[in-house]
């Protein structure tokens, strides 16, 4: 009788050839099968929330853009919505359409980028090269609309910074035709490709119940049949003025998540076309002169899920508190459900399937004392300690 193989720990990172960012995964494996997963992040923590509290509202738009390079429209969108909620500002219709166009172009480029990376992770570099080649026309349109390939700097509290000239509509629509053709080709090619099918189907399954339990968002949740999309559930931007569908797949594996993203590409193109058709002339911003004291929240349906921003103001030039919750913060812990029981070769793909963005996630740093666990206090213990100190001081008086 053969003995069952020993447990081994395989460290993966913090600098691994396939990981763009620094993060550490420790996989406990028995033979080929992963039994436990532990991850450590914090390498990308740049204390953005603290910096935000020292900047003015206009400067923060540029700062939150740099939380993540791929979501560089989503984070400012969440932020300006929070401030607009706080200051009760109305946005001109034209500005809303321009915001939506840039947002959907960002979704297109993010999903195509993910498709390429997924191909790279399974060693199918043809998909990587073609996916990224198809992404280039999207970046060209973004450059046409906003002036830069990445970091668009489009958003401003009260509107947008730059107008979209009417002379550009035709060129943008022509370029969109080109992108649409390629996206449709990908959408038709992936289900027919034997390599992709065999590597993606049945891998890293996250059931609907698990998706709900771990609080996943965006394509990760929708790939598991959990019908959630903040763009439809809490309408913002121009999403309730245009006709589009939420893409949901049932099977919960990596293949489902791929198909959700590829189908969303087509929806994005549909939304951009309608936005350009329905565009109305008019001003592109309402000037905001003062931010009153108070609190505001803003959500936005980023390519990876719901981005949430909270801003508290005391009426001065900069916020007293700015809190960010990126979608990867919810999606990354679901690894514990989807990676266990997988073979080690499939784990990387499962990790990549939620499109994790660690530079978004790392908002805070928790320092755990190494000597003993007793030094970690629960809120109740803290409260008790505080009350005891008051009692001691009173006794001394």
Partner 1 sequence: MNWKERLARWGIKRSPWVYHVNTGACNNCDIEILDVLCPRFDAERFGIKLVGTPRHADVLLVSGPVTRHTEQPLRDAYEATPKPCAVVAFGACGCSSGIFKDGLNVNGTVDRVIREEDPEAIITYVPGCPPRPEAIISAAVKTLEAL
Question: Which residue has tokens 């003993």?
Answer: 372
Asked if residue 247 binds partner 1 (CB under 8 A), the reply is no
Q: Can you tell me which of 26, 28, 33, 45 binds partner 1, judged by CB under 8 A?
A: 45
Asked if residue 132 binds partner 1 (CB under 8 A), the reply is yes
In sequence order, the 6+-apart residues with CB closer than 8 A to the CB of 286 are: 89, 90, 91, 92, 158, 159
| Shortest Å distance, C-beta 252 to partner 1 | 27
| Shortest Å distance, C-beta 162 to partner 1 | 17
Asked if residue 47 binds partner 1 (CB under 8 A), the reply is yes
Q: Can you tell me which of 11, 69, 191, 341 binds partner 1, judged by CB under 8 A?
A: 69
| Shortest Å distance, C-beta 304 to partner 1 | 12
Q: Can you tell me which of 26, 33, 36, 62 binds partner 1, judged by CB under 8 A?
A: 62
Region from 50-58, 178-186, 248-256, 366-374 binding partner 1, contact rule CB under 8 A: 50-58
| Shortest Å distance, C-beta 47 to partner 1 | 4
Q: 110, exposed or middle or buried, with CB in 10 Å at 0-12, 13-18, 19+?
A: buried
Asked if residue 46 binds partner 1 (CB under 8 A), the reply is yes
> In terms of Cα–Cα distance, which of 104, 107, 110, 95 is closest to 155?
95
Helices (H), the chain: 48-52, 57-65, 74-87, 93-121, 125-146, 169-192, 194-200, 208-213, 218-222, 230-233, 254-278, 327-331, 335-338, 344-353, 358-361, 379-396
Q: Which is nearer to partner 1, 40 or 197 (CB)?
A: 40
Q: Which is nearer to partner 1, 128 or 226 (CB)?
A: 128
The span from the CA of 370 to the CA of 373, in Å, is: 8
Q: Can you tell me which of 28, 35, 66, 89 binds partner 1, judged by CB under 8 A?
A: 66
> In terms of Cα–Cα distance, which of 229, 225, 282 is closest to 91?
282
- The count of chain residues that interact with partner 1, using the rule CB under 8 A, is 37
Window 330-369: contact mask with partner 1 (x via CB under 8 A):
---------------------------x-x-----x----
Q: Which is nearer to partner 1, 115 or 271 (CB)?
A: 115
Dihedral of the CA atoms 347, 353, 355, 357 (nearest 10)? -20
Q: Which is nearer to partner 1, 69 or 292 (CB)?
A: 69
* 301: β partners: 306
Q: Which is nearer to partner 1, 62 or 241 (CB)?
A: 62
Secondary structure (DSSP) of 143-205: HHHHSSSS----EETTEESS---GGGHHHHHHHHHHHHHHHHHHHHHHHH-HHHHHHHTTSS-
The span from the CA of 246 to the CA of 201, in Å, is: 22
Window 140-169: contact mask with partner 1 (x via CB under 8 A):
---------xxx------------------
Asked if residue 48 binds partner 1 (CB under 8 A), the reply is yes
Q: Name the region of 287 (left: φ>0; alpha: ψ -120 to 50; beta: rest).
A: beta
Question: Which residue has tokens 């195509």?
Answer: 112
Asked if residue 124 binds partner 1 (CB under 8 A), the reply is no
Positions that interact with partner 1 (CB under 8 A): 14-15, 17, 20-22, 42-48, 50-51, 54, 62-63, 66-70, 72, 113, 128-130, 132-133, 136, 149-151, 357, 359, 365
């Amino acid at each position: 009788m053969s003995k069952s193989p020993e447990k081994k720990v395989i460290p993966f990172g913090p600098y691994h050839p396939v990981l763009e960012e620094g993060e550490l995964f420790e996989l406990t494996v028995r033979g080929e099968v992963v039994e436990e997963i532990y991850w450590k992040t914090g390498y990308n923590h740049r204390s953005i929330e603290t910096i935000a509290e020292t900047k003015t509202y206009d400067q923060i738009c540029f700062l939150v853009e740099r939380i993540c390079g791929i979501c560089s429209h989503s984070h400012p969108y969440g932020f300006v919505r929070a401030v607009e909620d706080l200051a009760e500002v109305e946005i001109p219709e034209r500005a809303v359409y321009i915001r939506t166009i840039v947002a959907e172009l960002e979704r297109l480029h993010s999903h195509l980028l993910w498709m390429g990376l997924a191909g790279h992770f399974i060693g199918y570099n043809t998909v990587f090269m073609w996916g990224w080649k198809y992404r280039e026309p999207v970046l060209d349109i973004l450059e046409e609309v906003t002036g830069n390939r990445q970091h668009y700097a489009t958003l401003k509290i009260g509107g947008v910074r730059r107008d979209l000239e009417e002379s550009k509509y035709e060129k943008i629509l022509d370029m969109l035709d080109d992108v649409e053709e390629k996206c449709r080709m990908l959408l038709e090619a992936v289900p027919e490709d034997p390599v992709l099918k065999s590597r993606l189907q049945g891998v890293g399954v996250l059931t609907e119940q698990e998706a709900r339990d771990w609080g996943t968002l965006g394509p990760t949740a929708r790939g598991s049949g959990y019908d959630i999309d903040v763009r439809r559930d809490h309408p913002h931007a121009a999403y309730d003025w245009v006709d589009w569908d939420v893409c949901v797949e049932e099977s919960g594996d990596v293949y489902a998540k791929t198909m959700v993203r590829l189908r969303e590409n087509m929806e994005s193109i549909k939304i951009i076309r309608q936005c350009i058709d329905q565009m109305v002339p008019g001003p592109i911003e309402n000037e905001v002169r003062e931010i009153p004291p108070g609190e505001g929240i803003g959500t936005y349906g980023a390519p990876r899920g719901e981005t949430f921003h909270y801003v508290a103001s005391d009426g001065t030039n900069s916020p007293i508190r700015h809190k960010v919750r990126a979608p990867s913060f919810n999606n990354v812990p679901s690894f514990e459900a989807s990676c266990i029981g997988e073979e080690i070769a499939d784990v990387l793909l499962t990790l990549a399937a939620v499109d994790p963005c660690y530079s978004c996630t790392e908002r805070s740093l928790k320092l755990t004392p190494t000597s003993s666990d007793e030094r970690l206090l629960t809120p109740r213990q803290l409260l008790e300690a505080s009350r005891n100190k008051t009692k001691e001081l009173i006794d001394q008086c």
